[in-house]
Structure 1
Amino acid sequence: MGVYHAGSRAVQDRVGVREQADHVGRSVGRGIREIAAAFLELQPLLVVGAAAEGRVWASPLTGSPGFVRATGPHRVSVAGGPLPSDPLATAYATPGTPVGTIALDPRTRRRMRLNGRLAPTARGFAIEADQVFSNCPKYLQKRQSYEFVPDRRPGEPRRTAQLTDDQAGFVTAADTFFLATVHEGGADASHRGGNPGFVRVDSPGELSWRDYPGNSMFLTLGNLAADPRAGLLFLDWTTGTALQLTGEAHTEYGEDRRVRFTVREVIETPSALPLRWSAPEYSPANPDPAG
């Protein structure tokens, strides 16, 4: 599988960055290097993006460091699995499901993405990698430490067709979210960050955010050009609440690129993650969201 498909190429050409994209794309491979394997084994959080029952979702998985680890030159194994109510539960149990993953470490402002195909195992699942690469720390907020909260238990998930007022406040206060996208035969999970207010709630059924300059690969916008389905994941880094949205997104090209997301379904799970992180130090690269 090549690094780029027609959707990404179309966006690169429109923005005029094909040469830069080709240069960056040379860092993408199938192999999991020793430094990448060591990074994965330190992480308590993995975000997975995939399609299930026609919709695309981003799903959080947590565990003690080591719950995600490289078990072969092109294979990652994940111990455990999602909550029974997670919208990707059926996808995790289906061999060959295309998945995108991102492991993000706020302590070091490092992130790693691995895309491939899922294989259920006795202890959880494995992923056979098609693409493995790292991203720069741009727009990634630093959180110095985290702790496990052993007595925290997930609450009853709340499903709605649109955002409630409280959920809209959750979104506009966020400094980070994860974005799952797909294309024919593949999936991807990426990170978006900025100062609070960088995601705008235009109505209970529509969000938008400015697409800040990045690595010129345009994997996410390329996927959306090929398939508009998308899933968003917002986390409360203190209480562990997870807000998952699914719908469709498209890119508006103007003075600034803006992505507009139409909400189809919302799942809010209180205390979904047993992690409590320290307060953020915002990235110096974050633009003023009012600008």
Structure 2
Amino acid sequence: MNPGAERNDRTHGEHRYPSDVAFSPTVKTMQERLGSRELYARVERERGWGVALTPDIVAFVEAQTSVFLATANADGQPYIQHRGGPAGFLRVLDDRTIAFADFIGNQQYITLGNLTDNPKAHLFLMDYARRRRVKLWGRARVVDDPEQIAKLMPAGYKARADRAIVFTVHAWDLNCPQHIPQRFEAADVKSALGARDERIRELEAEVARLRERSVA
């Protein structure tokens, strides 16, 4: 694979394939050397990566209670920040835009500084219970509009946000579940155990009734 040829596939800074946002010419050369280039060339030809968010991906995003936001400063130094909240705190505004209220944390403002210098960003979402993960590449910007921030605040959630992050999606990929450990949210486990205990009580009551009938 000739990296120069890959560069010629790009016009005016645009990617020929959505996956080119991650598969740079150097990455493709590495894939060629290590034996996976044919697989990913087929993915490219079949447009295997998404651009517009599908209804399934929208539902996945808005169901999450946790997200990792990756940025890099002007020198290329990467940084990953975790953001969490109740399901729905990640809001899909349209098929190319995700936004969320940026709740006040430790006030280091590394992400805000990075986005000032370099708007390129990445969202990494993991659903451990269902062993699914979605990766999204794009650009992010900080919004200070109080009205928009208020619209993005989850109802009844006790947190404060002075700004919001708006993420424009350039490409997304849904990974295979290999090597993802299966874990469950504490609230889901509590609900399942509660349902189990209620069923046990029902069965115990039914056994007691049957015993009473047999004695009679």
CA distance in 2, matches of 1:79, 1:140: 28
Change in Cα spacing, 1:99 to 1:133, as seen in structure 2 (3 Å) is same
Checking the alignment, whether the CA contact within 8 Å between 2:51 and 2:169 is kept in structure 1 is yes
Report matched runs for 1:159-174 at 5 Å.
none
**Deviation string for 1:220-278 (max 9, x for gaps)?**
xxxxxxxxxxxxxxxxxxxxxxxxxxxxxxxxxxxxxxxxxxxxxxxxxxxxxxxxxxx
Percentage identity across paired residues of the two chains = 21
Checking the alignment, whether the CA contact within 8 Å between 1:96 and 1:119 is kept in structure 2 is no
Comparing both structures, which one devotes a greater share of its residues to strand? 1
Checking the alignment, whether the CA contact within 8 Å between 2:140 and 2:165 is kept in structure 1 is yes
Question: Is residue 108 of structure 1 aligned with residue 148 of structure 2?
Answer: no
Secondary structure of the residue aligned to 1:101 is strand
The alignment's TM-score, normalised by the length of structure 1, stands at 0.47
Ranges of 4+ aligned residues in structure 1 off by more than 4 Å: none
CA distance in 2, matches of 1:144, 1:46: 16
Structure 1: gaps (5+ residues): 148-291
Give the aligned partner of residue 108 of structure 2. Answer: 85
Give the aligned partner of residue 208 of structure 1. Answer: none
Give the aligned partner of residue 185 of structure 2. Answer: 145
Checking the alignment, whether the CA contact within 8 Å between 1:116 and 1:128 is kept in structure 2 is yes
The amino acid across from 1:39 in the alignment is F
CA distance in 2, matches of 1:112, 1:132: 7
The alignment's TM-score, normalised by the length of structure 2, stands at 0.62
Give the aligned partner of residue 12 of structure 1. Answer: 31
**Deviation string for 1:22-63 (max 9, x for gaps)?**
223422121100000000111011101111253211111111
Change in Cα spacing, 1:52 to 1:86, as seen in structure 2 (3 Å) is same
Q: Based on CA coordinates, which of the two structures has the bigger radius of gyration?
A: 2
Comparing both structures, which one devotes a greater share of its residues to helix? 2
Report how far residue 95 of structure 1 moved.
8.3
The amino acid across from 1:70 in the alignment is V
**Deviation string for 1:65-85 (max 9, x for gaps)?**
111121111111122246312
Report matched runs for 1:197-216 at 5 Å.
none
CA distance in 2, matches of 1:95, 1:107: 36
Q: Which has the higher contact order (CA 8 A, sep 6+)?
A: 1
Tell me how large the CA RMSD over aligned residues is. Answer: 2.1
Question: Is residue 39 of structure 1 aligned with residue 79 of structure 2?
Answer: no
Q: How many residues align?
A: 147
Give the aligned partner of residue 80 of structure 2. Answer: 58
